[in-house]
Amino acid sequence: MTAFLTIIIVLFVAVAIWQMVKIFDLAQVGDDANTGVATDKDNTMNGYLMIGFLIFIYAITIASFWYLGDLPLMSNSASAHGPQVDNLMIISMALIFVVQTITQFLLHYFAFKYKGEKGKKALFFADNNTLEAIWTIIPVIVLSGLIIYGLFTWSNIMNVDESEDPLVIELYAQQFNWKARYAGEDNTLGLANVRLIDIDRANILGLDESDPNAQDDKITTELHLPVGQPVLFKMRSQDVLHSAYMPHFRAQMNCVPGMITQFGFTPTVTTAEMRQNPDIVDKVANINKIRIENSETILASGQDLRYEFDYLLLCNKICGKSHYNMQMKIIVETQEEYDAWIKEQATFKNTIN
């Protein structure tokens, strides 16, 4: 019944808007001058509105920077390659900002300045090779710079230097959670395939029990990383596509069933250090203020009211119903803390039934 009433109400609102428009429309019936073609008066009005709209574009730009301008994806990266990415991002953004400001100005200002008047004649100006050469060559030069910078950064990130002896960790995705598998003493992950999964025997990741490398592997539900140590992630998925997204580390790679993908980086800032970072302190304070305002709903949902900063691994490829809550906490800590933690984790050999 409420459903029916709601539909009726929505229909009435639609009809009301419709009728108001109709009144507006009918009010102009006697107006024979309204042939549907713009008059000088229309041109003038819309010309001024163009300037108003230009101001609106600038205003929404400024407002967005003012309220949402902490841009966590451009500052305070927590990985060795992060600052390179951030630099490239800042350069690209600055360029975009300049081009956007100028071209929007020209477009809207011309629309205002050259608004039509009866009797005026436009300039017959069909072509100018010099002008066109200029605005072909300038983008070519600028983009060449960006392409070269981008490609160096990209190959720098994607080429994992095996000689640095990275810590090998598997990220294992399934609907709708993450697991991490540490390679153990030998730093070599044991062979695995989802066909070997045996839930009854607690072989939840499908490790090959006969592989000696698998025996000392450790499976965890939190991701701990020692600071300053290069890490090489090997990604696997059990069911559908997922994407391992670690925004603070400027890292992301899809997890694809049937293949192993990889991504490597070196974390440079521990969780404890990041919590002390003035920008993060501000951000957390702001978030906590918002949370207190909404405390009722947050407490009702069973979450902690107070937010404390943590690095996160998020799923960033649509993977089904609970995609929106597929996350794992990442903790970056000192080598000693990490050693102590990893020692407490049980090896595969000891957990299998």
Candidate list 223, 267, 317, 333; residue touching other proteins; CB under 8 A? 317
Candidates 164, 215, 218, 167; CA nearest to 191 is: 215
Q: Helix or strand or coil: residue 210? A: coil
Candidate list 55, 73, 202, 299; residue touching other proteins; CB under 8 A? 73
Does 83 engage in binding with other proteins (CB under 8 A)? no
337-346: long-range contacts, CB 8 A cutoff, minimum separation 24: 337/226, 338/224, 338/225, 338/226, 339/226, 341/224, 342/182, 342/218, 342/224, 345/182, 345/218, 345/219, 345/220, 346/218
Does 122 engage in binding with other proteins (CB under 8 A)? yes
Q: Which two tokens stand for residue 174?
A: 């399934």
Candidate list 221, 322, 335, 350; residue touching other proteins; CB under 8 A? 322
Note whether 198 and 353 are within 8 A (CB). Answer: no
Interface size with other proteins, residues (CB under 8 A) = 139
Q: Which residues in the 267-286 window bind other proteins by CB under 8 A? A: 283, 286
In the complex, the smallest distance separating the C-beta of residue 46 from other proteins, rounded to whole angstroms, is 4
Candidates 227, 234, 310; CA nearest to 274 is: 310
Q: Helix or strand or coil: residue 244? A: strand
Q: Which residues in the 28-47 window bind other proteins by CB under 8 A? A: 28, 34-38, 42-43, 45-47
In the complex, the smallest distance separating the C-beta of residue 338 from other proteins, rounded to whole angstroms, is 23
> CA 320 to CA 92: how far, in whole Å?
34
Candidate list 253, 269, 313, 332; residue touching other proteins; CB under 8 A? 253
Candidate list 320, 335, 339, 346; residue touching other proteins; CB under 8 A? 320
Does 318 engage in binding with other proteins (CB under 8 A)? yes
Does 107 engage in binding with other proteins (CB under 8 A)? yes
DSSP 8-class letter at 191? P
In the complex, the smallest distance separating the C-beta of residue 342 from other proteins, rounded to whole angstroms, is 26
Q: Which residues in the 231-250 window bind other proteins by CB under 8 A? A: 235, 238-241, 243, 245, 247, 250
> CA 235 to CA 25: how far, in whole Å?
61
Candidate list 117, 296, 336, 344; residue touching other proteins; CB under 8 A? 117
In the complex, the smallest distance separating the C-beta of residue 79 from other proteins, rounded to whole angstroms, is 11
> CA 177 to CA 160: how far, in whole Å?
26
